[in-house]
A and B are shown apart, each in its own frame.
Chain A
Amino acid sequence: MIHSLFLINAAGDIFLEKHWKSVVSRSVCDYFFEAQERASEAENVLPVIPTPHHYLLSVYRHKIFFVAVIQSEVPPLFVIEFLHRVVDTFQDYFGVCSEVMIKDNVVVVYEVLEEMLDNGFPLATESNILKELIKPPTILRTVVNTITGSTNVGDQLPTGQLSVVPWRRTGVKYTNNEAYFDVIEEIDAIIDKSGSTITAEIQGVIDACVKLTGMPDLTLSFMNPRLLDDVSFHPCVRFKRWESERILSFIPPDGNFRLLSYHVSAQNLVAIPVYVKHNISFRDSSSLGRFEITVGPKQTMGKTVEGVIVTSQMPKGVLNMTLTPSQGTHVFDPVTKLLSWDVGKINPQKLPSLKGSMSLQAGTSKPDENPTINLQFKIQQLAISGLKVNRLDMYGEKYKPFKGIKYMTKAGKFQVRT
């Protein structure tokens, strides 16, 4: 399936190559560079590029292109999903997935890649299994290894590979047994000029960090499971139980993992926690434009909106902006024409605003469209859909674990058209 993998940085250098079958010359990447040149921006490079003898499938993450070389028919999502899994694994191993990190740990990277694929077909992609085969590098381990001569490589087949719960390693031991669950919801919305909602959806995930001894069997139930319109599970969740009782029953992997992602459909009314008042105008004749935006809280259920960042891609004709914020800091990049305003917390008594003028290029006519405003924000202790976890129980082990559940609402792709 996957023949070779090339890692290409922003400058267009191939800094790592790995072949699982016969060697494919790196000149095959020339086709990729060509496509990259044609697409002005990195994210416009097509994920699937045909060349005379191969097909190049790529993903772009952390400013690195992961380019897989394919020789024959294969479901493209198979490759793309796998490449994303590779990136996730690197991130899991090294904390960040960057060119420098990969270059520094090239041997571990190579060993991991070797285990992940055999003859181009995925072999082990569960990070719990991989970590037993090849231990992630830590400074301490590096020092110990150099002195004692022990290795990072496991010599036994990870128990998970053969068991019915391949995601969990055996023999897990903790002194503090804890299980934390984060319910994180993101609001995707498009708000039109007049402030009415065109479309709004809630996408939620439950991320877990489980550090429990032995083989615990957990169940998690919701107060209002009917809210969930569409769900996708970590393989550990027992599907039958969910179908019949709407209860999440699972033997968790060890460590961090995404238990569930769900979708609250557009049919339900979605509470929009913030509003944006805007007054952006260009005049045809003058070379000055007015710019004024105010952000305020709407349906926040009494919680504070924090971490607000407003960004907007200004039209090409805008040369510069002179603005004064009532709070926070703002930056306008005259090259990319990107305005970004870091607002911080919204104080309902004193709404943050950003006012000022734009200087336009002389002679050009006014732009057709006012810029859209993208919003980011965070609300702690609130799941905007109203989803609530009822209880979390543990079976199969005797000790009493420490349990915690946290809620958070964030802006996903939140756009205001002006």
Chain B
Amino acid sequence: MSPWFRLSCSLAPTLQPSSQDLKQMLESSKDSAKLDAMKRIVGMIAKGKNASELFPAVVKNVASKNIEIKKLVYVYLMRYAEEQQDLALLSISTFQRALKDPNQLIRASALRVLSSIRVPIIVPIMMLAIKEASSDLSPYVRKNAAHAIQKLYSLDPEQKEMLIEVIEKLLRDRSTLVAGSVVMAFEEVCPDRIDLIHKNYRKLCNLLIDVEEWGQVVIIHMLTRYARTQFVSPWKVVEVVEEYSENNFYESDEEQKEKDQKVKDTYSMDPDHRLLLRNTKPLLQSRNAAVVMAVSQLYWHLAPKSEASVVSKSLVRLLRSNREVQYIVLQNIATMSIQRKDMFEPHLKSFYVRSTDPTMIKTLKLEILTNLANEANISTLLREFQTYVKSQDKQFAAATIQAIGRCATNITEVTDTCLNGLVCLLSNRDEIVVAESVVVIKKLLQTQPAHHGEIIKHMAKLLDNITVPVARASILWLIGEYCERVPKIAPDVLRKTAKSFTDEDDLVKLQILNLGAKLYLTNSKQTKLLTQYVLNLGKYDQSYDIRDRTRFIRQLIVPNEKSGALSKYAKKIFLAQKPAPLLESPFKGRDHFQLGTLSHTLNSQATGYLELSDWPEVAPDPSVRNVEIAESGVSKKLNTSSSSVTESASSEESSSDSKSELDSKSDSESGKSRSTTTSKVTTQVSVPAKTHELLHRMSGKGLAAHYHFSRQPGIFGDHMVSVQVTVTNTTDHKIENIHIKEKKLPPGMRMHEFSPIECLEPAGSITVSVGIDFCDSTQIASFQLCTKDDCFSVSIQPPVGELLLPVTMSEKDFKKEQGEKYFSSFNKCIWMRRGSSVIFVFAFPSRFAAKTVHSESLMLVTVELKGSSTAQLIINTEKTVIGSVLLRELKPVLSQG
């Protein structure tokens, strides 16, 4: 096949070759033919044509080197694997291989396809792949792992427990790329496991602004639900005590409780609650309507009443968007405006209707205008409504009449004006408008039946012309109800309608019967015969309903020997005072659905809708959100600041010295430093952003380098500590060939260098990883950082904490290790002036376990409280040098309080 022929085919894919031809093309040795065939097949799938018979031929190409063929095969597999499970299994090994590929895109897409193949047999393989991918170095692969969780869950819900473990792990992930996807998986798999969120709550709040927009929506909705279970209602008290300041945000729970007791009657918002509100507010400026809506519903459901109004401006902005967005936003505004008129009143004019709006938008706007009506704006609104009533869109005109009716009942000052206006409409030429007016007038008259005889008379005249059944029925009902006010007209109306009885709609017939009965009771002299005539007609009507009603009325009003005791009360039954109908917004009561949800839009519970719980009476323990070493299960690397490293390395202090030093700490000092200690602990889960300088730009002739410990488990080998080096070019020319040379390492130490950087643009910076095996010592690793022209001597010294890896072990194991092994132990008493302040950090006794990176020997740390002002710190280890350095560094940190 010549290339030109192929070109013309791809431009005109409608010319379909037979499946036999396609098979041949797929089996050809040329990639181009295969690609062409795959394109045609995908075209068939897109049109919804069945291409499943090609499965064997297609699946052979899953390992194709050509990336486009491969992608198209993936598309095909996802579509048909479920139908051809046995054959689909042929492809699995390819994916398993691809999962180990060094290219992250290939790993990720392999996971995507593997998890999209809905074949139950491979569930264990999928599970394994997800677990592995969830600790992949690439956040993109981890993101895909989060997606795969949902796919596996829908394929086999039995895996739930295992999947929750993976979710738990991924929730701890700090990448913004992963956050949205894993929360989505959480919502799908285990939305009730709110306990998994506690530890990650603050992190999610802080990451939110950097998460991609779709993830933001999901996270905000989840956090809304979370907040409703964890915080107390900010709505109960009128005044909100805003004691919040940046400083006391990381306040410990102990103090919080203290304060709670002090100010129990005045409400103060939980700092975490405030954090959520504060961090979501900027998102109101998002270009994505879904994000804006999500924040709006969060403010509606969580913010104090006085603050919720910040969202209205943004919501009104969305009204400029496409009609679909408008539709949803208007619905939500309609619900909000019932409860909180003040939020949208300033924007009243934004809801004015244009003749070009689609009908659904028009009616929603009208709904909102009606909700917003009050004494101050009603006159402008009614003038606006007058225009709408004349609209060519009659459906909309009818809705406007309803709206006028509602305004009239809600605002008593304008009731008469509205009624007069509506009466004028009775002479309108359009029947729908007249009918709607009649119905609304009927309702209005019922609310205040005082002296509207004139209107009723006017309406009676209309009866000759109106044909709409609802309107006719309404008029008849009105005349019957107030027949004593129009004694002359009522019998005449009955006479007229009796004549037309047989041609009327069922609805009207029932009202004629009603009218007859009421007249019979009040004015039997004039109407007895007429009523009996009507009743006779009704007796032989085709409709069951009417026959039943006729029988019922006859028994009630016409006294005879068989009629029971009820007929005595007939007048009371028929002419009882009837409660006036309430004219309410159809959006009333919709607010029990969370705003912004599908259920709210449909006003019925959608599958999978998660109910928003009521505020708890008493807030659950807020300390669960504190992120601490002791509670995190895994003891993280001890955060030793670099300053203390140098200090301890330089001097060999005796224990007595430090003791006296600690003693001398004054009370006033401890008060100040307390808050800083605790905040350090709470942020400790993260990898500290602290960077150390490797090469200053002055001494490096414009080349600057920094390093920090990334704390990722050995990329370069088990014994290596990974160090991220960021090289920055501060000169105005390119720096070429940056590499490492002349390593001067102490014996035993090894180093894995980064591959040379070919070229660094001016002002550019690049981050590379190196691995260093420090042999469990704090000795300095010196080497030269070289460019094309120069060499600079640099060195890295690790803080002792970086030489340790966290280990999880149970308390029992911990004690066993501690007791049995021949560790040399260092005991040290620490004097503490204010013992209580340290409690925030540790639950005593606290135990931490770690192992050294190089020799993997255990390192156990125990902190125990002895008496009120003394604590004991015990370190058990084989490595005495590291142990003593660690002890020296831990001591000041612990006794700082």
* A369-B354 in contact (CB<8A): no
> Looking at chain B, what size class is its interface with the partner chain?
35 or more
Q: Which of B67-75, B161-169, B507-515 contacts A (4 or more CB under 8 A)?
A: B67-75
Binary contact track B430-470/A, C-beta < 8 Å → 1, others 0:
10000000000000000000000000000000000000000
Query: CB < 8 Å: which of B39, B43, B213 contacts A235?
Result: B213
Cβ of B6: which chain A residues have Cβ within 8 Å of it?
Answer: 146
Question: When A107-B72, A110-B75, A146-B7 are in contact, do A44 and B392 touch as well, CB less than 8 Å?
Answer: no
Query: CB < 8 Å: which of A58, A106, A230, A235 contacts B287?
Result: A235
A320 to chain B, nearest CB (A): 18
* B327-A47 in contact (CB<8A): yes
Cβ of B43: which chain A residues have Cβ within 8 Å of it?
Answer: 106-107
A61 to B324, CA, bound (A): 10
* A73-B599 in contact (CB<8A): yes
Query: CB < 8 Å: which of B287, B289, B317, B358 contacts A263?
Result: B317
A133 to B592, CA, bound (A): 44
* A198-B352 in contact (CB<8A): yes
Query: CB < 8 Å: which of B214, B358, B387, B607 contacts A417?
Result: B387
Cβ of A16: which chain B residues have Cβ within 8 Å of it?
Answer: 46-47
Cβ of A368: which chain B residues have Cβ within 8 Å of it?
Answer: 390, 428-430
* B392-A50 in contact (CB<8A): no
A279 to B279, CA, bound (A): 55
Query: CB < 8 Å: which of B47, B103, B328 contacts A155?
Result: B103
B593 to chain A, nearest CB (A): 10
* A19-B79 in contact (CB<8A): yes
**Contacts between chains A and B (CB distance < 8 A), count:** 258
A169 to B777, CA, bound (A): 43
* A199-B350 in contact (CB<8A): yes
* B140-A162 in contact (CB<8A): yes
Cβ of B39: which chain A residues have Cβ within 8 Å of it?
Answer: 107
Question: When A73-B599, A75-B596 are in contact, do A121 and B47 touch as well, CB less than 8 Å?
Answer: no
Q: Is B108 part of the contact surface with A, judged by Cβ < 8 Å?
A: yes
* B608-A73 in contact (CB<8A): yes
Q: Say what secondary structure dominates the interface of chain A.
A: mixed
Q: Is A118 part of the contact surface with B, judged by Cβ < 8 Å?
A: yes
* B79-A162 in contact (CB<8A): no
A346 to B154, CA, bound (A): 63
Cβ of A78: which chain B residues have Cβ within 8 Å of it?
Answer: 214, 217, 290
Give chain A interface residues in 68-86, CB to chain B under 8 Å.
70-78, 80-84
Cβ of A233: which chain B residues have Cβ within 8 Å of it?
Answer: 285-287
Interface-central residue, B154, B181, B601, B732, by most chain A CB under 10 Å? B601
* A80-B47 in contact (CB<8A): no
* B430-A203 in contact (CB<8A): no
Query: CB < 8 Å: which of A48, A110, A118 contacts B144?
Result: A118
Residue of B nearest to A71 (CB): B607
Query: CB < 8 Å: which of A77, A243, A413 contacts B325?
Result: A77
Question: When A47-B328, A114-B75, A417-B387 are in contact, do A74 and B356 touch as well, CB less than 8 Å?
Answer: no
Cβ of A315: which chain B residues have Cβ within 8 Å of it?
Answer: 392
Question: When A78-B214, A82-B214 are in contact, do A118 and B325 touch as well, CB less than 8 Å?
Answer: no
* A234-B287 in contact (CB<8A): yes
A235 to B350, CA, bound (A): 27
Give chain A interface residues in 159-218, CB to chain B under 8 Å.
161-162, 164, 166, 188, 190, 198-199, 201, 203, 214
Q: Is A272 part of the contact surface with B, judged by Cβ < 8 Å?
A: no
Question: When A22-B82, A121-B181 are in contact, do A156 and B317 touch as well, CB less than 8 Å?
Answer: no
* B47-A266 in contact (CB<8A): no
Q: Is A122 part of the contact surface with B, judged by Cβ < 8 Å?
A: yes
Question: When A72-B608, A152-B68, A198-B349 are in contact, do A230 and B214 touch as well, CB less than 8 Å?
Answer: no
A122 to B144, CA, bound (A): 11
A161 to B221, CA, bound (A): 24
A122 to B47, CA, bound (A): 23
Residue of B nearest to A120 (CB): B150
Question: Closest 10 interchain pairs by CB?
Answer: A72-B608, A151-B68, A369-B390, A199-B349, A157-B105, A47-B324, A77-B290, A122-B214, A73-B608, A73-B609
> Which A residues fall within an 8 A CB radius of B?
1, 14-19, 21-23, 26, 41, 43-44, 46-48, 50, 55, 58-61, 70-78, 80-84, 104, 106-107, 109-111, 114, 118-119, 121-123, 125, 142-143, 146-147, 149, 151-153, 155-157, 161-162, 164, 166, 188, 190, 198-199, 201, 203, 214, 229-235, 239, 243, 258, 261, 263, 266, 313, 315-316, 365, 367-369, 371-372, 374, 396-398, 413, 415, 417
Known: A46-B360, A110-B75. 20 other contacts (CB 8 A): A14-B48, A43-B358, A50-B602, A50-B604, A59-B322, A60-B323, A72-B606, A73-B607, A107-B72, A111-B72, A125-B214, A152-B68, A157-B105, A161-B177, A162-B138, A199-B352, A230-B316, A233-B287, A374-B355, A417-B387
- 6 contacts across the A-B interface (CB closer than 8 A): A44-B358, A155-B106, A190-B354, A232-B317, A369-B392, A415-B355
